[in-house]
A and B are shown apart, each in its own frame.
Chain A
Amino acid sequence: MVPLSYYLILSAVLFACGVAGFLIKRNIITTFLSIELMLNGVNLSFVAFAAQLKSLDGHIFVFFVMVVAAAEAAVGLAIIISVFRTRETLNVDRVNVLKL
């Protein structure tokens, strides 16, 4: 039996990788993938806690999260395409019409 803390640490590492990727990466698609990585890190915590607590709730939440992530991906990719149409770039640094 793998202890709960291993899962939680892995999930925290995944989440942190997602955060780091979001902040560092300059390509919009990669940035978007980093968010998905964060969500998957959260999913892992849900499942780990559910196994620990011997309750099914956590498993079900993961399905909800996946559905929402899919909806988000659909809208997100549409937005990315609309940005590409007007700007012809996928680099976040060059999507900068709006500035301080």
Chain B
Amino acid sequence: MISAVDYIRILPELVLSVFGILVMIVDPLIPEQSPKRPLGMIALVGVLAGLAATAYQVGFYGDAFFHSVQVNTFSVFFHIVILLIALVVLLTSCEYLEVQKIRAGEYYGLILFGTVGMMLMTSAVELVLIFIALEISSISTYILAGMRRRVAESSESSLKYFLLGSFATAFFLYGVAMVYGATGSTNIYTIAHALRTQQSTLAYLAVGLMFVGLGFKVAAAPFHVWTPDVYEGSPAPVVALMSTGPKAAAFAVLLRVLFGTGAIGWFWIVWLAAILSMTLGNIGALVQQNVKRLLAYSSIAHAGYLLVAFAAGREVGISGAIFYTATYAAMNVGAFAVVSHLSGEGEKYVTIDDYAGLGRRSPPLAGILTIFLLSLIGIPATGGFFAKFYVFSAAFQSGLTGLVIIGVINSAIAAYYYLRIIVHMYMRDERTEAPVARIPATLGIGLAISLIATIYLGVLPGRLLEYALTSARDLVK
């Protein structure tokens, strides 16, 4: 029987869907020439309502809709992370859309629908529901990637994202079919129960195929080739969303598939993907001139660090991965918010040379970007440091010394290209005429949220880490 509690357990998704539909209804009512800013405000209210709904869920842990949705500390954690990402992205978009002269109401609607998909991915425990949620989030982001319709790069990146994304989803789905054949069910817990009694070849194959599908979504090597192209061509705030939101959701699904089901035999695949992602990501980033492209390679590398935590396994590894996802989201979404503000009309100013002398032209923006970049390197007192520290110490405790050494060497390589941006900002003369617009209030709030999150996690990580440990226990229970 479906009761009212069931609906409370999907309340954040419901709230966001309602607001998404509201945006679509109000869109045509706004006169032709007036700005679409009110729609952004509706979407913002929607995300805040979603956060409130998530907070309300805390008292209602449990399963819903015939054990297809599960609300616990794990799903609530990812809900909050994804909603905060959406909040910052919306705050960034308000200004961006006006500067780029994109007058599209559906932009805000799609961000909300995409967020619904991502949130559902983290709370679903039924593989078919996970597949549908994955598609909701992917299809929304495919369209968002092509939002600068008249720009060839944007539609090209949309096409590449679409083709490779659907290709990957097909692999994921084939994995679901295999696991259905092996265990007769697609529910994570029933699968876990069935796999405890017997492991079959089909189950190994299933986990491998699902890893391929999710590997594409999280941009882990060797499934990362689409990332730089898509990130370069897509609108900057959309990149902020898709480099963090769907990634966080896909990592949550990966945690459920690998640890929730108790599947075995994936260790070496993850181990190899971790090493490849870290190395290829960091080496690729060294030669980039375009900042968006550089951050794309950096996001591949960060997926690699996260997979180190997966390889470490056990509760420490899982909680390290959860903590890393949150930290990475905070710093990366902030960095892309700065990039999207600086990009200017038509995204003309996105190369490292355009950042030359930013320290003099706009000290606050340069300072904020520096903090995010330092956090991405993993300098102490920023969230990035503790995230890396927990991941590597988890790997060390699991005896993966080789992986830790490769990871640390990679962090050192990564420092070079992040510092290169900082050096350009503070030590080069301004060569370009790239103007720096004033920071509007919306963007200011967005930057403040990600900045506070990044520094808070770097100074007082204890509470979140404890929460991550609780979530990890809930996941493997």
- Which residues of chain A in 15-50 are interfacial with respect to chain B, using CB atoms and an 8 Å cutoff? 15, 18, 22, 28, 31-32, 35, 38-39, 41-42, 45-46, 48-49
Number of chain B residues close to chain A: CB under 8 A: 38
**Most A Cβ at <10 Å: residue of B146, B156, B170:** B170
The answer to whether A61 and B128 touch across the interface, beta carbons within 8 angstroms, is yes
- Whether a CB of chain B sits under 8 angstroms from the CB of A79 is yes
The answer to whether A39 and B170 touch across the interface, beta carbons within 8 angstroms, is yes
Pick the residue among B132, B166, B181, B229 that contacts A98 (CB under 8 A).
B229
Residues of A within 8 A of B162 (CB): 75-76, 79
The answer to whether B159 and A28 touch across the interface, beta carbons within 8 angstroms, is yes
- Whether a CB of chain A sits under 8 angstroms from the CB of B139 is yes
Contact with A along B170-200 (1 / 0, CB 8 A): 1001101110110011100000000000000
The answer to whether A61 and B180 touch across the interface, beta carbons within 8 angstroms, is yes
Residues of A within 8 A of B232 (CB): 98
Contact with B along A51-63 (1 / 0, CB 8 A): 0110101100100
Instruction: Please measure, in the bound complex, the distance between the C-alpha atom of A95 and the C-alpha atom of B146, giving whole angstroms.
Output: 14
Residues of B within 8 A of A91 (CB): none
Knowing A55-B184, A98-B232 are in contact, say whether A80-B170 is a contact too (CB < 8 A).
Answer: no
Residues of B within 8 A of A64 (CB): 128, 131-132
Knowing A79-B158, A100-B228 are in contact, say whether A46-B177 is a contact too (CB < 8 A).
Answer: yes
Instruction: Please measure, in the bound complex, the distance between the C-alpha atom of A37 and the C-alpha atom of B229, giving whole angstroms.
Output: 26
- Whether a CB of chain A sits under 8 angstroms from the CB of B420 is no
The answer to whether B139 and A75 touch across the interface, beta carbons within 8 angstroms, is yes
Residues of A within 8 A of B132 (CB): 64, 68
Number of chain A residues close to chain B: CB under 8 A: 44
- Whether a CB of chain A sits under 8 angstroms from the CB of B135 is yes
Instruction: Please measure, in the bound complex, the distance between the C-alpha atom of A86 and the C-alpha atom of B110, giving whole angstroms.
Output: 23
The answer to whether B131 and A68 touch across the interface, beta carbons within 8 angstroms, is yes
Residues of A within 8 A of B181 (CB): 8, 45, 48-49, 52-53
Minimal beta-carbon separation of B391 from chain A (angstroms):
29
Q: Which residue of chain B has its CB nearest to the CB of A11? A: B177
- Whether a CB of chain A sits under 8 angstroms from the CB of B343 is no
Minimal beta-carbon separation of A25 from chain B (angstroms):
11
The answer to whether A35 and B163 touch across the interface, beta carbons within 8 angstroms, is yes
Instruction: Please measure, in the bound complex, the distance between the C-alpha atom of A31 and the C-alpha atom of B233, giving whole angstroms.
Output: 21
Pick the residue among A49, A76, A96, A100 that contacts B180 (CB under 8 A).
A49
The answer to whether A61 and B135 touch across the interface, beta carbons within 8 angstroms, is no
The answer to whether B139 and A71 touch across the interface, beta carbons within 8 angstroms, is yes
Minimal beta-carbon separation of B289 from chain A (angstroms):
12
Residues of A within 8 A of B146 (CB): 79, 82
Instruction: Please measure, in the bound complex, the distance between the C-alpha atom of A55 and the C-alpha atom of B159, giving whole angstroms.
Output: 38
Minimal beta-carbon separation of A72 from chain B (angstroms):
6
Instruction: Please measure, in the bound complex, the distance between the C-alpha atom of A58 and the C-alpha atom of B128, giving whole angstroms.
Output: 10
Instruction: Please measure, in the bound complex, the distance between the C-alpha atom of A78 and the C-alpha atom of B149, giving whole angstroms.
Output: 11
Minimal beta-carbon separation of A54 from chain B (angstroms):
10
- Which residues of chain A in 73-100 are interfacial with respect to chain B, using CB atoms and an 8 Å cutoff? 75-76, 78-80, 82-83, 85-87, 95-100
Residues of B within 8 A of A11 (CB): 177
- Whether a CB of chain A sits under 8 angstroms from the CB of B142 is yes
The answer to whether A72 and B180 touch across the interface, beta carbons within 8 angstroms, is no
- Whether a CB of chain A sits under 8 angstroms from the CB of B150 is yes
The answer to whether A45 and B174 touch across the interface, beta carbons within 8 angstroms, is yes
- Whether a CB of chain A sits under 8 angstroms from the CB of B460 is no
Contact with A along B150-162 (1 / 0, CB 8 A): 1111011111101
- Whether a CB of chain B sits under 8 angstroms from the CB of A9 is no
Question: Other CB < 8 Å A-B pairs besides A45-B174, A72-B135, A79-B158, 16 of them?
Answer: A32-B166, A38-B174, A49-B180, A53-B181, A57-B186, A61-B128, A64-B128, A65-B131, A68-B131, A76-B163, A76-B166, A82-B155, A83-B158, A87-B152, A97-B156, A98-B229
**Nearest 10 pairs between A and B by C-beta?**
A38-B170, A49-B181, A45-B177, A98-B229, A86-B152, A82-B155, A83-B155, A68-B135, A35-B166, A42-B173
B residues lining the A interface (CB < 8 Å): 128, 131-132, 135, 139, 142-143, 146, 149-153, 155-160, 162-163, 166-167, 170, 173-174, 176-178, 180-181, 184-186, 228-229, 232-233
A residues lining the B interface (CB < 8 Å): 8, 11, 15, 18, 22, 28, 31-32, 35, 38-39, 41-42, 45-46, 48-49, 52-53, 55, 57-58, 61, 64-65, 68, 71-72, 75-76, 78-80, 82-83, 85-87, 95-100
Pick 23 A–B contacts, CB within 8 A, sort by A: A28-B163, A32-B166, A38-B170, A39-B170, A39-B173, A41-B174, A45-B177, A46-B180, A48-B181, A49-B177, A61-B128, A64-B132, A65-B131, A72-B166, A75-B142, A79-B143, A80-B159, A83-B156, A85-B155, A86-B151, A97-B152, A98-B153, A98-B232
